[in-house]
Structure 1
Amino acid sequence: MKLSRRVMIGLALLGSLSPLLGSCQARGSAKGVPVGISQSDQNVQLLQAVQNGDLAKVQALLKAGASAKAAADSGRTALTWATKGDHVAVARALIAAGADPDPQDDQRSNALLVTGETGSVAMLREVLKAIPDLTRTNRYGGTALIPAADRGHLPYVREILKTTRIKVNHVNNLGWTALLEAVILGDGGPTHTEIVRELLAHGADRKIADRDGVTPLQHARQRGYGAMVKLLEK
């Protein structure tokens, strides 16, 4: 059977493209990322992979076109999900792909603020590479330093004070600074006492009182936190 010139050219073109198409399909299926899905669907898959801490899937989806800035309906970004799960390698991949650390979800959480809650120094270091806004505040009006101080995350407090210019005397919606929270919400033990020491060493103002006019020193005395009292009396 004799083929027309047009058919012969078409077959030749198809033959030259088939290896490329086959290669693309192989790469997509090898990583478990379906070929041809929309970016919206890719973003949904990315958020799920991030929550699962599935680094390989995250990397494959980013390569396939998913956005590192993807966010759920709540406004929670992929990077914030990564910090929630302390998936450090996943966060590193997202930041390398252009993830923004600052957007806040409907609970006013973002990547940096979450690290203050979890106390993860490794995650803090990754998030700082994205140059976050240190003035962003959580639903209580506090910076990342404040929850870290009241929860006893001593290594975190040391790291954020050492590596950033976060405002040590920021006052939250309750009228408390990190120093007040370390005394009021702490247990008066060695860890919270060391946090008080670190805060004072980095410029915490011991004269800033709560809304009732009670200073950190007075709170420490009322609670019988002798070691804190000694630090605050200096």
Structure 2
Amino acid sequence: MRPGSTAALMTLAALGLLLAACQAGPGQPQGVDTPPSVASVSPGTGAGTPMPPSTASPPALSSADQARLDQDLIAAAKANNAPLVAELIGRGGNVNAKDPIQDSAFLYAGAEGLNEVLQLTLAAGADVTSINRYGGTALIPASEHGHVETVKLLIAAGVPVNHVNNLGWTAMQEAILLNNGGPRQQEVVRLLLAAGADPGIRDPEGQTALQNAERLGFSEIAASIRGRG
């Protein structure tokens, strides 16, 4: 080998090593994948896994918001809007809350024979012993109006059949005194008797249901009462 050849070869080898190091990049060997970014991983769930939805309950209503919801429920019941009544109950409306004239969704539906609304209030835990501004249960005005199917629902729900209101009348007395003694009133009286209503409870004038039926000429009702002994 000629003088200087060894030194030239060593210089070329050193340049080759330096070039290879520059291509690999500082501190990163060739052929190694870049790790995923920390920002692409949900904490505690693993790479690419979405965070679970929140299951927290909605905040409780303030007393003012609850009062508004309850009044909306009563208004919906008075409008016989059963779908809205169901929605408002689902949002937490209280079927026993009352308006300024002491009507609740339950009491009004019972009094007026709004049976779909009534059933929604019963399913939502209506207080069947609650009373209206006259001191009467829902059964008393339902009987007065001759709402036969409503009377069946209220009796089945456990509304007291012998409750006396502020006027001194039971459901049976109102069914006789405040209507015309027709077929619906006759059926209401039969239903009340079958449920254990006492026809011997006297009104403020001292008259029994039988005496009032006879006085008003309601012979069919009088016969039903006599038949029950």
State TM-score, norm by structure 1. 0.67
C-alpha root-mean-square deviation of aligned residues, in Å? 1.8
Q: Is the 8 Å Cα contact of residues 158 and 198 (structure 1) preserved in structure 2?
A: yes
Q: Is the 8 Å Cα contact of residues 110 and 154 (structure 2) preserved in structure 1?
A: no
Offset of residue 99 of structure 1? 0.9
Q: Pairwise mapping of residues 30-179 of structure 1 onto structure 2 (< 5 A)? A: 67=65, 69-71=66-68, 77-162=71-156, 164-179=157-172
Question: What per-residue deviation string (whole Å, max 9, x for no partner) do you get for residues 159-212 of structure 1?
Answer: 1112x1110100000000000000101211100000000011111001101012
Q: Tell me the distance in 2 between the aligned counterparts of 1:85 and 1:118.
A: 11
Offset of residue 70 of structure 1? 4.0
Q: Tell me the distance in 2 between the aligned counterparts of 1:203 and 1:188.
A: 20
Structure 2 counterpart of 1:192, from 185, 200, 215? 185
Equivalent position amino acid for 2:158 in 1:
R
Mapped pair 1:208 → 2:183: no
Q: Could you tell me which residue of structure 2 aligns to residue 56 of structure 1?
A: none
Q: Tell me the distance in 1 between the aligned counterparts of 2:180 and 2:217.
A: 10
User: What SS does the corresponding residue of 1:77 show, helix, strand or coil?
Assistant: helix
Structure 1 gaps of 5+ residues are: 1-38, 44-66
Equivalent position amino acid for 1:99 in 2:
G
Offset of residue 117 of structure 1? 2.4
Q: Is the 8 Å Cα contact of residues 179 and 206 (structure 1) preserved in structure 2?
A: yes
Q: Tell me the distance in 1 between the aligned counterparts of 2:68 and 2:216.
A: 44
Q: Could you tell me which residue of structure 1 aligns to residue 220 of structure 2?
A: 227
Q: Could you tell me which residue of structure 2 aligns to residue 49 of structure 1?
A: none
User: What SS does the corresponding residue of 1:71 show, helix, strand or coil?
Assistant: helix
Structure 2 gaps of 5+ residues are: 1-60
Offset of residue 102 of structure 1? 1.2
Equivalent position amino acid for 1:210 in 2:
D
Q: Tell me the distance in 1 between the aligned counterparts of 2:73 and 2:67.
A: 9
Equivalent position amino acid for 2:91 in 1:
A
Question: What per-residue deviation string (whole Å, max 9, x for no partner) do you get for residues 138-159 of structure 1?
Answer: 1111111111100111111111
In the TM superposition, structure 1's runs of 4+ consecutive aligned residues that sit over 3 Å from their partners are: none
Aligned residue pairs, count: 166
Q: Tell me the distance in 2 between the aligned counterparts of 1:233 and 1:202.
A: 16
Q: Tell me the distance in 2 between the aligned counterparts of 1:104 and 1:222.
A: 37
Equivalent position amino acid for 1:170 in 2:
H
User: What SS does the corresponding residue of 2:169 show, helix, strand or coil?
Assistant: coil
Q: Tell me the distance in 1 between the aligned counterparts of 2:164 and 2:96.
A: 20
Q: Tell me the distance in 2 between the aligned counterparts of 1:85 and 1:125.
A: 15
Q: Is the 8 Å Cα contact of residues 116 and 146 (structure 1) preserved in structure 2?
A: no
State TM-score, norm by structure 2. 0.69
